[in-house]
Amino acid sequence: MSINLPVNGKNHVVPELIRIGVLTVRPATFLAPIADITDGPFRRIVRTFGGVGAVFTEMISSDAYTRNCERTLHMANFSESEHPVFFQIVGKEPERMANAAEMAEAAGADALDINMGCPSSTITRHGSGSALLKDLKLAESIISAVRKRISIPLTIKIRSGWDSRSLVFSDFGKMAEDNGVNAIFFHGRTRKEMFRDTVHYEQIALLKSQLSIPVIGNGDITDRETLNRMLKTGCDGIMIARAAIKKPWIFAELLSNLQVSPGSLFPIMEKQFMEITDIYPEKLALHKMKTVAGWYSRSIPGGKQLRVRLSHIHTIDDMMQLIEDFKGSIS
């Protein structure tokens, strides 16, 4: 059975389930890894609305994680209510990545994902994230080292290449499949494209046609129209990032037509911020709250004003007061 989405007279369906190695995810929808956002409090909010099959951690530095860096251990935490959880690691040293993967499995992750797509120069200048797309051999060494050390499903998340002259997604897909990777999350843009223009649906369709492991399509899904365009590629599942930060209920909206008013973001923020305060040291908590509020403000009428005021917030109390002030003005 599948979930029908009639868009422009054509029906494309979100698969009811996807099998990734031994793991079954229902439905085939994924909350993407988003640095600074997809921590426990945020993932639990997305889960509360429903419609999401599995959630990703934000990218976890294999270096910091294996050195037991306190901040990273906070970021790497997840709770019972979030499963299945895909634990994403980033780095470039095969043995260190394998150590991190082993720790993630021991911590209870349901699957391990390797970040081979992050375009941020803070990551790529160390040769990690999408910089790995320039080094198939190193990427293979990482995958093979990790594969040997974990028994949970292994996935990779890629872009299509470093730039349009080096589209390597097919080579990476084949190499990954040959080395025991169980699924590929594919954001159909090059590193150079960052978030510009539209995602290349034809690349996602091509990769899907070339592999026997599942391919999950990612990029630009914000509504039924864009969801439909992604499903048309024939992908086995879909992943959403930015739309989920603006609307944590996006999966439920797309799958069961849940309608939520922008004003509902305030109680969501209050709940999320209380959890953030409980979990993180004050400085990190405030940083997280400001990041989250900045994204949510894009869905709130008058959100620009909220963003302006955010730049003057220096304490958690001020932050909570700001939310309180705005809450009354929007329904």
Ligand X SMILES: Cc1cc2nc3c(=O)[nH]c(=O)nc-3n(C[C@H](O)[C@H](O)[C@H](O)COP(=O)(O)O)c2cc1C
Minimum distance, C-beta of residue 9 to ligand X, in the bound complex (Å): 25
List the catalytic residue out of 28, 35, 52, 118: 118
From the CB of 102, what's the least distance to ligand X, in Å?
20
**Choice from 18, 20, 25, 32 touching ligand X (CB under 6 A):** 32
Contact set for ligand X, span 138-157 (CB under 6 A): 157
Does position 63 interact with ligand X (CB under 6 A)? The reply is no
Structure tokens at 295: 């994204």
What distance in Å separates the CA atoms of residue 141 and residue 90, rounded to the nearest whole number? 14
275: burial class by Cβ within 10 Å (0-12, 13-18, 19+)? middle
For the bound state, the minimum distance from the C-beta of residue 35 to ligand X, rounded and expressed in Å, comes to 4
Query: Binding of ligand X at residue 76 (CB under 6 A)?
Result: no
* Phi, psi torsion values for 53, nearest 5 degrees: -80, -40
Question: Binding ligand X by CB under 6 A: which of 45, 46, 52, 59?
Answer: 59
**Residue 165: what residue type?**
R
Q: Applying CB under 6 A, does 241 fall inside the site for ligand X?
A: yes
In whole angstroms, how close is the CB of 309 to ligand X at the nearest point?
A: 21
Please pick, from the candidates 110, 193, 220, 236, the single residue that binds ligand X as defined by CB under 6 A. Answer: 220
* 85 touching ligand X, by CB under 6 A: no
Q: Which of 201, 118, 130 is nearest to 172 (CA)?
A: 130
Other CB atoms within a 10 A radius of the CB of residue 22 amount to 11
Q: Which of 20, 35, 104, 150 binds ligand X (CB under 6 A)?
A: 35
Is residue 291 helix, strand or coil?
A: helix
Binding of ligand X by 39 (CB under 6 A): no
188 binds ligand X (CB under 6 A): no
* Sign of CA pseudo-dihedral 75, 50, 244, 188: positive
Distance CA 217, CA 236 (A): 8
If one asks whether residue 221 binds ligand X (CB under 6 A), the answer comes out as yes
What is the amino acid identity at position 241? Answer: A
Q: How far is CA 170 from CA 31, 88, 117, 175, 185, in A?
A: 24, 22, 14, 8, 13
118 binds ligand X (CB under 6 A): yes
User: Which residue type is seen at 279?
Assistant: I
Nearer to ligand X, 9 or 228 (CB): 228
Place of tokens 């029906």: 11
**Position 58 contacts ligand X (CB under 6 A):** yes
Question: Rounded to an integer, what distance in angstroms lies between the CA atom of residue 225 and that of residue 16?
Answer: 19
Minimum distance from residue 328 beta carbon to ligand X (Å): 29
Among 72, 128, 141, 218, binds ligand X (CB under 6 A): 218
Tell me which DSSP letter residue 4 carries. E
Position 115 contacts ligand X (CB under 6 A): yes
Q: Is 69 designated active site?
A: no
Nearer to ligand X, 111 or 240 (CB): 240
Active site residues: 118
The residue ranges that bind ligand X (CB under 6 A) are: 32-35, 58-59, 88, 115, 117-118, 157, 187, 218-221, 240-243
